[in-house]
Amino acid sequence: MLGLTQSQLGRLLDTDGQTVRRMEMPIEASTHRKPAVRMVRLIRAYIDGYRPVDWPIPDPAATAGAGTVVS
> How confident is the prediction for the chain on average, in pLDDT?
87
Task: Report, in angstroms and rounded to the nearest whole number, the Rg of the chain calculated over CA atoms.
Answer: 12
**69: nearest Cα among 24, 30, 25, 17:** 24
pLDDT of residue 53 exceeding 60, the answer is yes
Q: What length does the chain have? A: 71
Give per-residue pLDDT as tens, 12-24: 999 999 999 999 9
How many angstroms separate the CA atoms of 62 and 41, rounded? 24
Could you give the 3-state DSSP secondary structure of residue 54? coil
Element (H, E) at 23: helix 17-24
pLDDT of residue 1: 87
